Structure 1
Amino acid sequence: MKLQYSFILIFTGLMALLLLGINLVMYSMSSGYREHEFFMSMENSATIVASAVLQQEKAEDFYAIRNNILQHLEDEEEYILRIKPGSNDIQFPKELPLDESFYRQAIKEGKARHYEGGIYYVALFTNNDGGEDDILVISTARDAEGDAYRKRLRTTLAVTYLGAVLTMGLTSLFFSRKIFGQMVKIIQKVNSINVFNLNDRLEKEQSLEEISELQDTLNEMLNRIEAAFKAQQDYVSNTSHSLRTPLTIIAGEAELALRSIEKGHKAEYSLQMIMQETEKLKHTVNTLLELVKEIGSGRKDSWKVTRLDEVLSSVVHTISKMDESFKMRIDYSDLPDNDSMLCVSANEHLLDLALSNIILNGFKYSGNKEVKVKLTPGTDFIKVEVTDYGIGIPKAEQELIFTPYFRASNTEGFEGFGIGLPLALEIMRMHNGDIQVNSREGKGTTVQVILPVAKPAQEV
């Protein structure tokens, strides 16, 4: 999960829990206060009833006071018990769902309270100092107004709670966007920087100090990467230029020597091998120079819309110069009537190198047996399948074949350095393409090159 959304969830969640706790405390205190007030009203009413019973001559006055001053309680009922002092044989009302302990508590402590099934119960015990019997008044009532109050309170708290949580969520979203918005811009900008625009830098904006420090750090890192990359380019370029001239001389001298000797001379095979290997090396050196030039320029001026079948024809010509014994069969059976479906936006030299490396691998690891190449156009992508019937790749090692300098465990008898496929993949990625490999050890390998079809209005 992104840090921005984690921040929103954590902040909103913590504040929601805090608000929920506050609401529960408020509801509990308010409901408890309401319950206490209702019990007090019932006890006051029971006190008046007890006084009226003990002072019969003033009973009407006590009831008048209760009716005029005290709140009328819904479904209110009173039960009056006369208890002889010291007597344990007491007949408590059986119609009330109360344990005997409730009455005993009232007699012992002077009063008792109980709530069950929406009905409040109050018992008030009064000693009769001037008479024979003590008085126990049990009062029951229903707090309809209090129930309505609690319902309104729950609704109000729930609505305000949801509104507060929603407000906090939107507020945290707003501020998180303000805080993380610049980080998102930094990520997008850094992701847009590649080998073609290593000179781009992050633009400084008014922001938090930490964000500014991050921008400075990334810009300094990009400076170091660009310097190291240019040094590497210069080294490869200088080395390739240094190799190009002697390779050309070697190839020319070998060709002259081959022409000057008689057919069947014992040096003929050696000279032919020198010419073939020199052509391979010249091809690699020239392409490395092209790759360095393309990346170093930061532009795609040398790119153009070209037909992939024509590139394949160039690859056939290049490979035949390296070794005339190579047998390659190109399957054009799926060629479309619409030539635009064969077009790709590419640097022809780089594409030629990538396809040549893949096909030459097929010849190398199949003992120079025939390699099949099939061109399959599509609406959005065009595919080139290169199939050989050689040693294949062990299943456990297939994920490592694009690692530079990696060579499979069954290639000990074959020359190579493990840079052909990684270089080809890098070139395909420069063309927004991909390479997929399907191989069975001892059966052969199929390498599928996938490139996007150039649209009619595509600019190169």
Structure 2
Amino acid sequence: MSEQPGLESALDQLAIPVLRVEEGTARVLFANTAARMLPFTLEPPAAPGAVLDAEGTPLPVEQHPVERAARGEPLEGELVRWAGPEGSRAFVVHARMDRSRSPGVATLSFQDVSGWHQTEADLRRALGARDTFLSVASHELKTPITVLQLVLERLQRGAHREVSLSGAQLVERLEPALRQVRRLGVLVQNLLDVSRARNNHFELECERFELGTLVREVCERFSEHARQAGSVLAVEDCPPVEVHWDRMRVEQALSNLITNAIKYGAGGPISVRAEPHEGAVSLRVEDRGPGVAEGDRERIFNPFERAASGHRGESLGLGLYIVREIARAHGGTVGLTGREGGGSCFTLRLPREAAEGGYE
């Protein structure tokens, strides 16, 4: 029975959960309103695996913070988690033993830091994504530079030996260098686009053009790439429709979606179609790959993100983010849904009349 009604009346007004437990027995003498309102109990014994340490490892009963406090152990800001019916909650626990009476009474306070804990986890994930990006970017930039260096050194050795090269030989030797220069150009453009998008300076230069022509040109350009990956790239439906868009940016967005489908489509057929709506047009790119888990379908449009997959190749994780920003600049959207029978369907939906200038 409580012998300190004044103290406990004050504790009952606190917004944070508080327990008072008996020394030695760990019997709970008092729980304030905040503690009683929780959807789970802070008292031992809890359900097996319900109480976790900072790393998420289940705590044995003797390591429960109430048991430790009852033994007189000081707790100064220990992070403990409870796995309740509504998800995990993280608390910083403080405990102080009062031995002015016998047996003593330990007072425990539980500061809910679930939001901070999630923020820390998000920050760690973001830092991990940044580190992965820097690693992949270094690799992606180093490869074409190495090829360029080898090609130029080969040409230099030929010049020193005064070996005359025919036009055909020169073209053959320069082709790998030009291919890598184009690759570098794409990488640098992607990085520049990300910088512009994140600083809200993604600009458009809109013009009127017939969409079907653009779609067929892009698909024709990627048909050989798709064939090498074992896929067949086909334009299923693309009725004539005039739009007022930034042609280069829409071509870039469609190219990114098709490249993504080729990369993750597992060698299955890929289809592209345009669907006019009242005041808008949807571009759909479908593949027959393993698809993307529902929980990842928003995340993969963030910069430097990639969904988990069996694909061994690495990328900067920028392609879908740039598609999203191109859609946003046009006043449209891009989304991902699962495809019946397996695979992914990316839908880029833009108003037929995009405003000039994008966003700033």
Q: TM-score, with normalisation over the residues of structure 1?
A: 0.36
Higher strand content, 1 or 2:
2
**Bigger relative contact order, structure 1 or 2 (CA pairs below 8 A, ≥6 apart):** 2
Higher helix content, 1 or 2:
1
Larger radius of gyration: 1
